[in-house]
Chain A
Amino acid sequence: MQLDQRKAGDALIVTPLEDRLDARVATDFKERMIELIASGNTIIVLDLSKVEFIDSSGLGAIVSSLKRMGGRGELVVCGLRETTMTLFKLTRMDRVFQVFDSEQQAVSALSGNKG
């Protein structure tokens, strides 16, 4: 799968360039996230603005990524489209992840937290 990544301050912005985050790409996505976490990224903003649909495998992969962080650092999400937001709420993942409207809001909130 295609995954865009770039730094914004201390945060790593990760943007899946897929319109569907589903069973077809979930395993690959999870492995890529785990690599990023293993390589020392502790503040990650997952930008889902390109994702139009996410299924339970995709959501599971995001939860696994959070678990892999082991309570050290932050993994937040931003840019959720309506369908994705519905599914986040449906699974109550919005209570586990901080959800921001945009990448800028996420980065600024995380910098605020740090300060």
Chain B
Amino acid sequence: MSTRRLEQNPGPESGTRRHAALTVSAFQDAIRHHARYSLGNKWERCSSRELFMAVAFAVRDALIDRMLDTEDRYQQADPKRLHYLSMEFLLGQSLRNNLSNLGMLEPCRQALRTMGVDLDDVLESESEAALGNGGLGRLAACFLDSLATMGMPGYGYGINYEYGLFKQAIDSGYQREKPDNWMAHGNPWQIERPDEACIVPVYGRVEHGIDRAGGYNPMWMDWKIIIGVPHDMPIVGYGGNTVNVLRLYSARSSEEFDMQIFNEGDYLKAVEQQIASETISKVLYPADSIEAGRELRLLQEYLLVACALRDIVRRYSKSHEDFDQFPAKVAIQLNDTHPALAVAELMRMLIDEYAQPWEIAWEMTQATLSYTNHTLMPEALEKWPISLLEAVLPRHLQIIYEINRRFLAQVASMWPRDHERLRRMSLIEEGEQKQVRMVNLALVGSHAVNGVSTLHTQLVRTSLAPDFAQLWPDKFSTKTNGVTPRRWLLQANPLLADLITNTIGDGWITDLGKLRALEPYTQDADFRQAFMAMKRVNKVRLARLIYDVSRVVVSPDALFDVHVKRIHEYKRQLLNVMQIVHQYLCMIQDGQEPPVPRVYIFAGKAAPGYWTAKQIIKLVTSVGQVINNDPRVKGLIKVVFLPDYRVSLAEQIVPAADVNQQISMAGTEASGTGSMKFAMNGAIIVGTYDGANVEIMQEVGEENIFLFGLQVEAVRQMRERGSYHPRDYYHRNPHIRRLMDAFGSNLFCPNQPGLFRWINEQVLDHGDPYLHLADLESYIDTQGRVAQTFQDREGWVCKAILNVARTGQFSSDRAIAEYAKEIWNIQPVL
């Protein structure tokens, strides 16, 4: 095996141009200093948690120096800045990432070692910032890493949820939710900035007044005030040269207590009022689709938008006297429709607070805002009842009506008398309960709209917004998602990272396309051996974790077949279970042993109110219980469910996977960034022709991925023609009949008869909207081919290596470069 080191990345271990990395002794001094003066303790007496805090404070000092320097650099260059508005930032733990990107991982490890402390123990003590549900929030976190790594002036704006996504426990096979009070022990990364708090008015009414010149003057009166207090998290790029800021807002009441109520002796009522305001940033909604009419969610979204825009305008105004340069200096990206209120809020600010004429304000708003769509699922497309908007944001509703009036006049002039088109394109949905369509508001108010994979963008154009695509064909583009190789390869899989760096140099860390240089090494027996050894070590580690949390013994020599993501019907965890049950029945009833031992690994959270998703978890655990304990299976099939899926768990699962399942019904998954992480770590995808799978196939080669099932057009036709009859599959295919009957029997629920009868009812009797049985036959065939292919370990490892080598396209650096060039028009400031 080659151990060349072809090139040196300009960053880490040697420090940056402006800042030297901390030496081991300086690190020790800093840790001792913070243990004593920030925590009031001697380091020798510190708990793991306190040591984590002391180390984090030491790292934070370095981050702050670089953050201030970065801001100086930006101020000097006055570049166009990008502002990424997202209701979710799924950051996970930060210490390892910050140390690694600063090039301080090894000095820190050594410093702690000489103090008798293991860095890994310290790293484990960090609470995770689980401020997101899944892909959308994790994408936002990857994008921040890429922006900083590439030296781009990019700021994140979000909500500082006191409670992140719930913690999941499994109790008797069922999901139980526990609150995630992630900041209970303090958060060393955040810098609170009360002096930059924003005033956010809500509720009230519009008084139709007259100004001094006798003109119409709509006055927003009788509002209540919420205060948005910013908390800055430094985001360091690889190499440490650029430290951008993620600004998260907490809601506070406008005063500590209402003193009048307090003086009247009603202390509790005074406190209650304060608590009511602070409730707004209390909790992250644990679902990607929010039940319409949730006032608290609307308040959260407005808190984000109002605070972010006020902050953006404040920063712009510091160095500009008028708004002439605003779109040339400010880009604002809406991460899905959740921040779409930005359209109305920016218009309101420009018109009401800065006295801009409507036409100018509209031009600036459109030129500044751009919108990423993340889903086509109807339940996730936000609509707010007019009555609610009128109560919470009366002036915004008035502005939305006016935007709509002008927009529909434009549409009517192009398509006269096409009333149906006007009805479809209107920002207002008529009906029993009139609603504002936030997607349409975002489409109209943005100069650019993008989907997150080629296929998804095509569906946005053709099925979500065909009228808008016809009106503005150039507004729509694809920006396929990506993931940061720093977290998902360099940090999550240090063994593979070292193997790659020792083979082709470390240029891949900031230019993932360089992984292509690994391709020839499929012919290098030493490299293949080292690759297999790396995978096995990772699998041993995961096997140990599986045993620790579930007491199931699995062999690291088995095929690790992984299905981890939020639990949702469209993602079709049920399809996977059907295939497992089929395999099980083949073994115990037909005597057919699988060609290789296989461990099916599931993880994921179900939205607390989503009955079917929670039942799927119970199904997986129950099927696992039966199969894992059936001696006839001889340990050849294992099924495990790892509780509390989160970023840090993903970091342990991804490097150990042989196969990744991405099997959503075609046309439902917008992108599926999970697949990118797995492929990057040498797992092979079993997937449908959905989301980014298609592009991954184009990159890695169709012989190095297992795609199966109906494609989007076939799904569409089947649904439109009503030609999917699940019972036909049931009657025609004895294997399908047998496994469906197994769910109907009590095979997997001997102590709770009828527990899984819902599967038969939903699939066979209620139409099965996600077409499980239509794809099941080809899925079973594909999974069989996977097992056969895995028997040839040398052939398999070549495929795995080629997956790693050909994932350069799926770096978030590539995605950010595309956004920067084609939408934001921003440049690095180095």
Contacts and interface: CB of A to CB of B under 8 A. Distances in A.
Interface of A: 20, 23-24, 53, 55-56, 59-60, 63, 83, 86-87, 89-93, 95-96, 98
28 contacts: A20-B255, A23-B260, A24-B260, A53-B255, A55-B254, A56-B221, A56-B222, A56-B223, A59-B221, A60-B221, A60-B222, A83-B199, A87-B199, A87-B201, A89-B352, A90-B220, A91-B219, A91-B220, A91-B221, A92-B209, A92-B219, A92-B220, A93-B219, A95-B212, A95-B217, A95-B355, A96-B211, A98-B212
B169 interface: no
A95 B211 contact: yes
Given A55-B225, A55-B254, A56-B221, A92 B259 contact: no
Nearest to A60: B221
Contact of B259 (A24, A83, A87): A24
A92 B211 contact: yes
Contacts of B201: 56, 87, 90
Nearest to A59: B221
A92 B352 contact: yes
A56 to B, nearest CB: 5
Give the most central of A53, A92, A93: most B CB within 10 Å.
Answer: A92
Contact of B224 (A56, A86, A89): A56
Nearest to B259: A24
Contacts of B219: 63, 91-93, 96
B367 to A, nearest CB: 23
B327 interface: no
B254 A53 contact: yes
B188 interface: no
Interface residues of B, number: 26
A20 B260 CA distance: 12
Contacts of B209: 92, 96
A112 B221 CA distance: 32
B211 A86 contact: no
Q: Which of A89, A90, A96 gathers most chain B CB within 10 Å? A: A90
A28 to B, nearest CB: 11
B353 interface: yes
B635 interface: no
A86 to B, nearest CB: 6
Contacts of B212: 95-96, 98
B255 A92 contact: no
Contacts of A24: 258-260
Contacts of B258: 23-24
B204 interface: yes
Interface in B194-244: 199, 201, 204, 207, 209-212, 217-225
A90 B199 CA distance: 10
Nearest to B263: A24
B111 to A, nearest CB: 45
Nearest to B225: A55
Contacts of B207: 63
Given A63-B219, A90-B201, A90-B353, 10 more contacts: A53-B255, A55-B254, A56-B204, A86-B199, A86-B353, A87-B199, A89-B354, A90-B352, A96-B210, A96-B212
Contacts of B259: 24
B341 to A, nearest CB: 16
Nearest to B260: A24
Contacts of B254: 53, 55
A56 B255 CA distance: 14
Contacts of B355: 95
Contacts of B354: 89
A92 B199 contact: no
Contacts of B211: 92, 95-96
Interface string B176-207: 00000000000000000000000101001001
The 7 tightest CB contacts between A and B, nearest first, are A95-B211, A89-B353, A24-B260, A56-B223, A56-B222, A91-B219, A92-B219
A86 B355 CA distance: 13
Contacts of A59: 221
Contacts of A83: 199
Interface in B466-506: none
A52 to B, nearest CB: 11
Contacts of A91: 219-221
A90 to B, nearest CB: 6
B444 to A, nearest CB: 24
A3 B207 CA distance: 28
Contacts of A63: 207, 219, 221
A83, A87, A91 interface centre (most CB from chain B within 10 Å): A91
Contacts of A98: 212
Nearest to A97: B212
Contacts of B260: 23-24
A78 to B, nearest CB: 16
A98 B213 CA distance: 11
A92 B218 contact: yes
A115 to B, nearest CB: 19
A39 B601 CA distance: 83
Nearest to B201: A90
A92 B204 CA distance: 14
Given A87-B199, A90-B352, A90-B353, A96 B217 contact: yes
Nearest to B352: A92
A36 to B, nearest CB: 22
A96 B210 CA distance: 7
Contact of B217 (A20, A60, A87, A92): A92
Nearest to B198: A86
A87 B254 CA distance: 13
A43 B212 CA distance: 16
Contacts of A53: 254-255
A96 B352 CA distance: 12
A86 B352 CA distance: 10
Nearest to A20: B255
B353 to A, nearest CB: 4
B262 to A, nearest CB: 10
Contacts of A87: 199, 201
Contacts of B221: 56, 59-60, 63, 91
